[in-house]
């Protein structure tokens, strides 16, 4: 069922949508069902207990996935002299920081942006990130500055740069996305 002019989310069960709720008046449609491995179920038909279970499980699983395998990776990282880069407390601090990033992304609704252990970004988010990284690299090269390594301040610098140059970055990302969707390659024969 399509959205109506009041921007009520599409749903398989119209009786579950209360147009007075803020979520029902936003542009973003709320999913009406969950589906996995051929099993599909209407969200409106779940009990409160079931929804709480799914929220808790999804919350914990998402945070856990954000740092999956990171303890081993961090434990194996070495400094130039061959000594371990992180002691046990350092590993714990990095993992806690990455978990905090995931929590912030979940709360902000941006969990789809890409980073260590994070889900795949949307096409536009991915392009914005790619452009931001390229422009930051270009700006550093132009200023004859060396960028910090990932995990050693790069993320914070990228965030600061992205915030300062957001309009320029988004405009370039949008331009590239339009160009990528333009015709041009369809005359190439692949045989």
pLDDT of residue 113 exceeding 60, the answer is: no
Nearest Cα neighbor of 79 from 147, 144, 141, 151 is 151
Per-residue pLDDT of 4-57, as tens digits, reads 444 333 444 444 444 444 444 445 667 788 888 888 999 999 999 999 999 999
Distance CA 153, CA 158 (A): 9
> DSSP readout, the chain?
----TT-PPP-S-GGG--TTSGGGGSSSPPP-EEEETTEEEEGGGS-HHHHHHHHHHHHHHHHHHHTTTHHHHHHH-B-TTSSBS--HHHHHHHHHHHHHHHHHHHHHT-TTS-STTPPPPPHHHHHHHHHHHHHHHHHHHHTT-PPPPTTTTHHHHHHHHHHHTHHHHHHHHHHHHHHHTSS-STT----
Is the per-residue pLDDT at 3 higher than 50?
A: no
- Local confidence band at 93 (pLDDT 50, 70, 90 cut-offs): very high
pTM of the model: 0.45
Q: Using the predicted structure, report yes or no on whether residue 151 has a pLDDT greater than 60.
A: yes
């Amino acid at each position: 069922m399509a959205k109506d002019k009041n921007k009520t989310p599409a749903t398989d069960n119209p009786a579950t949508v209360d147009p007075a709720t803020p979520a029902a008046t936003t542009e973003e449609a709320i999913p009406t069902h969950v589906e996995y491995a051929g099993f599909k179920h209407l969200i409106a038909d779940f009990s409160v207990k079931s929804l709480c279970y799914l929220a808790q499980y999804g919350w914990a699983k998402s945070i856990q996935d954000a740092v999956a395998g990171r303890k081993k990776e961090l434990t194996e990282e070495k400094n130039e002299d061959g000594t371990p880069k992180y002691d046990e407390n350092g590993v714990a601090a990095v993992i806690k920081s990455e978990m905090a990033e995931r929590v912030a992304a979940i709360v902000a609704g941006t969990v789809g942006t890409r980073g260590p252990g994070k889900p795949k970004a949307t096409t536009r988010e991915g392009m914005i990130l790619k452009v931001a990284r390229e422009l930051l690299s270009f700006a550093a090269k132009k200023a004859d500055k060396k960028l910090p390594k990932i995990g050693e301040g790069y993320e914070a610098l990228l965030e600061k740069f992205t915030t300062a140059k957001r309009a320029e970055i988004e405009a370039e990302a949008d331009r590239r996305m339009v160009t990528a969707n333009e015709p041009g390659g369809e005359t190439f024969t692949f045989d």
